[in-house]
Amino acid sequence: MHPFSKIRNIHRSEELLDIVFHRASRLSLDVSRRASPIAKARKREVARVRFISYNLVEYLESMVKVFPNLDEIHPFYRELADILVGIDKLKEVLASIEGAARVIKKIASQKMRVIKFSEYPKQASQARIEAYARISSVINKLASRLDFLIDASKILSKLPTVNTDEFTVVVAGYPNTGKSSFVSAVSSAKPEIAEYPFTTKKIILGHFSYNDSRCQIIDTPGILDRPMRERNPIELQAITAIRHIANVVVFIMDPSLSCGYPLEGQLELLSEVRETFPTLPLVVVINKVDLMSSKDLEEVKKKVDNPIGMVAIQNIGVQEALEAAMKAGKLQGDLRYAKGTAL
Ligand SMILES: Nc1nc2c(ncn2[C@@H]2O[C@H](COP(=O)(O)OP(=O)(O)O)[C@@H](O)[C@H]2O)c(=O)[nH]1
Ligand SMILES: [Mg+2]
């Protein structure tokens, strides 16, 4: 579950009007046959206006209610929502939907008064027609906002469910260096493992326990695996969002070059990731040491501080790498730790 998981199907304005007016037209009323024509008309028209306004107001209010308070959600989700749909726009749209509900209530109560005091059946039905027209126009004016909300809800409801309270390891490094192999070796996640770069495109979550605490590990294909200059503003903000949940970054390198990227580029990305998360602890892991001569490995080790050697696919050094990450992330037995933003 995440803050936007309760959002449900939203109707476009025409659909909404069709549904409600169709139901109103089939309203059955128990009006005494002996009642006078004007008494019948008043009763019938009031019931229609009440039905229409009640249902629309109910629908609009409940639509707003399923959205979380955007000022109170975790910064990770606020940041993502802001990147993906725009928080200000979303707030404006929700506020105008609430406003529309209030206007509909007002129109309905005014027109119901007119109906109750009408002297002829024609007058009553005329007031009902006016109420319908004004209420429809309020809903029609919401058209573009409802369309926005439909698009927004499709995007927001699909956000990953990240536990913002759990200790979180974020994995970075060039494509093909072994990030997914590492994540699947330490956690329950079974990410796609492929020879080709950019095969996995989503944030991939895995879970593991450490000192009896549930922890989370995040694989970030397409996000923390390329130089800064190649990233667009949206990706840069996605990185900012990740900072809100990360406790430690594991940076995976493949100096064997079997990943297809030279060591210089990987070292550059390493310093960029360090700059991007200046307050976060970071552990460097050298993967695929099975493909390297010990001489080459020694050379690489001189260029990074305290790296941990690993062969992810043989489960060599995997636990050591995780252990180092947990230590660097200062996870104590009692789980007193701080997320990146709190530092
Ligand atoms: N020889 C060797 N190959 C590895 C190792 N770790 C991963 N690989 C291979 O490298 C390729 C890329 O690994 P993957 O985990 O998908 O990298 P990612 O793109 O960073 O997620 C896959 O073919 C893996 O089987 C390792 O330690 N040694
Ligand atoms: Mg991968």
What are the E-state strand segments in the chain?
167-172, 204-210, 213-219, 248-253, 282-286, 308-309
**Per the domain annotation, does 124 fall within a domain?**
yes
For residue 35, the one-letter residue type is A
Cα–Cα distance, 206 to 118 (Å, whole number): 67
Yes or no: say if 108 and 24 are a contact pair by the CB < 8 Å rule: no
> Average pLDDT in the 60-69 region?
95
102-139: pLDDT as tens digits: 999 999 999 999 999 999 999 999 999 999 999 999 99
**Per the domain annotation, does 7 fall within a domain?**
no
Do 252 and 279 lie in one domain? The reply is yes
- Mutational pocket test of ligand 1: of 171, 182, 193, the residue with most ligand atoms within 8 Å of the beta carbon: 193
The closest of 49, 30, 229 to 129, measured between CA atoms, is 49
Yes or no: say if 318 and 341 are a contact pair by the CB < 8 Å rule: no
| Local confidence band at 339 (pLDDT 50, 70, 90 cut-offs) | low
Q: Give the per-residue pLDDT at 343.
A: 34
Alpha helix (H) ranges present in 66-86?
75-84
- Taking CA atoms only, the protein residue closest to ligand 1 atom 8 is 178
Phi and psi (nearest 5°) for 311?
-125, 90
Do 183 and 105 lie in one domain? The reply is no
Ordered DSSP codes for 237-265: HHHHHHHTT-SEEEEEE-TTSTTS--HHH
Cα–Cα distance, 131 to 82 (Å, whole number): 38
Do 211 and 230 lie in one domain? The reply is yes
- Whether residue 87 has its Cβ less than 6 Å from ligand 1: no
| Local confidence band at 202 (pLDDT 50, 70, 90 cut-offs) | low
**Per the domain annotation, does 136 fall within a domain?**
yes
Q: How many residues does the chain have?
A: 343
The closest of 162, 179, 339, 164 to 269, measured between CA atoms, is 179
Q: Give the per-residue pLDDT at 189.
A: 62
Q: Give the per-residue pLDDT at 242.
A: 83
Do 30 and 95 lie in one domain? The reply is yes
Yes or no: say if 180 and 200 are a contact pair by the CB < 8 Å rule: yes
- Domain of residue 327 covers 167-342
Q: Give the per-residue pLDDT at 80.
A: 85
- Taking CA atoms only, the protein residue closest to ligand 1 atom 2 is 288
Do 215 and 260 lie in one domain? The reply is yes
284-329: pLDDT as tens digits: 999 999 999 999 999 999 999 889 999 999 999 999 999 999 999 9
Sheet with strand 248-253: strands edge to edge = 204-210, 213-219, 167-172, 248-253, 282-286, 308-309
Higher pLDDT, 240 or 297: 297
> Average pLDDT in the 190-203 region?
50
> Average pLDDT in the 132-149 region?
98
Q: What percent of the chain has pLDDT over 70?
A: 92
Q: Give the per-residue pLDDT at 89.
A: 98
Is the predicted pLDDT of residue 176 greater than 50, yes or no? yes
**Per the domain annotation, does 262 fall within a domain?**
yes
36-50: pLDDT as tens digits: 999 999 999 999 999
Is the predicted pLDDT of residue 196 greater than 60, yes or no? no
CATH code for position 320: 3.40.50.300
Cα–Cα distance, 171 to 281 (Å, whole number): 12
How remote is the CA of residue 252 from the centroid of ligand 2, in Å?
A: 11
- Taking CA atoms only, the protein residue closest to ligand 1 atom 26 is 288
> Average pLDDT in the 229-244 region?
77
**Per the domain annotation, does 1 fall within a domain?**
no
Is the predicted pLDDT of residue 279 greater than 70, yes or no? yes
How remote is the CA of residue 217 from the centroid of ligand 2, in Å?
A: 13
- Whether residue 190 has its Cβ less than 6 Å from ligand 1: no
Phi and psi (nearest 5°) for 148?
-60, -45
Do 174 and 308 lie in one domain? The reply is yes
Q: Give the per-residue pLDDT at 90.
A: 98
Do 77 and 192 lie in one domain? The reply is no
Cα–Cα distance, 256 to 10 (Å, whole number): 52
Mean residue pLDDT across the chain: 88
Query: Torsion angle, CA of 284/288/293/299, rounded to 10 degrees?
Result: -20
**Structural domain count, the chain:** 2
Do 32 and 146 lie in one domain? The reply is yes
| Local confidence band at 197 (pLDDT 50, 70, 90 cut-offs) | very low
Q: Give the per-residue pLDDT at 342.
A: 38
